[in-house]
Structure 1
Amino acid sequence: MLQVGDSAPDFTLKTTAGETFRLADQRGRSIVLYFYPKDDTPGCTAQACSFRDQYEEFQDLGAEVVGISSDSEASHQKFTQKHRLPFPLLADEGGRVRKLYEVPRALLGLLPGRVTYVIDPQGKVSYIFNSMNRATDHVAEAKKVLREMNVAPGQ
């Protein structure tokens, strides 16, 4: 299992805009990498919209939000447009990156799991939050961790 303190596995996937996203290219900034089951389902929509509604706070904390599911680029484009998502969604068709991050399946193995990783500017995993049913808690947990990371030692 991937653990806090481990180097975040590098990967390259296409964004909703058709651009290439490579995790290693993001060094120097924090990344909130969230894996979710499926575009336009109730829990996933609530989670994405919660990240959207608090996106400026993530930016103020020096972090980029990135969502990943096994949906296609076309599905991500529709989902992004419909809900005005300001952050990239990555198409992990076939689930290669999900396996790389060891995201467990949920609900008796029937659904892809919902896990959020906070990755620090050096590319290390700082936090892992795994909860299928508490979709919007992923947002609050990630912000809490980023705030703690941004507090200077001794303060």
Structure 2
Amino acid sequence: MKEEAIKVGDKAPDFELERQDGGLFRLYDLIGKKSVVLYFYPKDSTPGCTKQACEFRDQYEVFKEHGAEVVGISSDSVESHQKFEEAYKLPFLLLSDKGGQIRKLFGVPRKLGLLPGRVTYIIDQEGVVRYVFNSMTKPLEHVSTALEVLNEINSKEKHFKTA
């Protein structure tokens, strides 16, 4: 039975995975405090994934200004994530989804049935998925699109608070 893909408007499923520092990350520990930019990527240290991670790194302060945390997920090991983080000075969490359980939980598609897909989810403070961006070939657009969506979410929330 195929898992149903998470769509805009769905409540993001909670999950727990090991971080690159060996500790545990739980999605719902952030919900209520921050928006979450959850991005699934194929593999540490490959050209597209490195480009994407470095762009998230370069824009990380902007994400924080938007009240968002960036979290990367692949099926690489904790050790692989540690090397990736150190090599590129990544300031955000990388989670190890060894058996691809969380990838399945979110319904992230595989490319050509083999390669793990590249999908970014923008989850608001209430835990609702506000945007899904799926593109294997445009790793940098995941970052710029995520910033645009967060900007939109933040300006709407400000509008409601002042209205």
Aligned to 2:159: 153
Aligned to 2:100: 95
Cα distance in 2 for partners of 1:50, 1:99 equals 26
State the AA in 2 paired with 1:61.
H
Cα distance in 1 for partners of 2:6, 2:77 equals 26
**Higher helix proportion:** 2
Cα distance in 2 for partners of 1:67, 1:149 equals 21
1:32 to 37, 56, 59: 37
Cα distance in 1 for partners of 2:118, 2:29 equals 24
> After the TM superposition, which residues 1-155 of structure 1 pair with which residues of structure 2 at under 5 Å, given as runs?
1-28=5-32, 29-106=34-111, 108-151=112-155, 152-153=158-159
Cα distance in 1 for partners of 2:68, 2:42 equals 22
Q: List, as ranges, runs of 4+ consecutive aligned residues in structure 1 with deviation greater than 2 Å.
A: 152-155
Aligned-pair RMSD on alpha carbons? Answer: 1.0
Shift of the alpha carbon at 1:142? 0.3
Give the TM-score of the pair, scaled to structure 1: 0.97
Q: Which runs of 5+ in 2 are unaligned?
A: none
Give the TM-score of the pair, scaled to structure 2: 0.92
Cα distance in 2 for partners of 1:24, 1:63 equals 14
Cα distance in 2 for partners of 1:33, 1:2 equals 12
**What is the aligned-residue identity percentage?**
61
Q: Which runs of 5+ in 1 are unaligned?
A: none
Cα distance in 2 for partners of 1:87, 1:115 equals 17
Shift of the alpha carbon at 1:18? 1.1
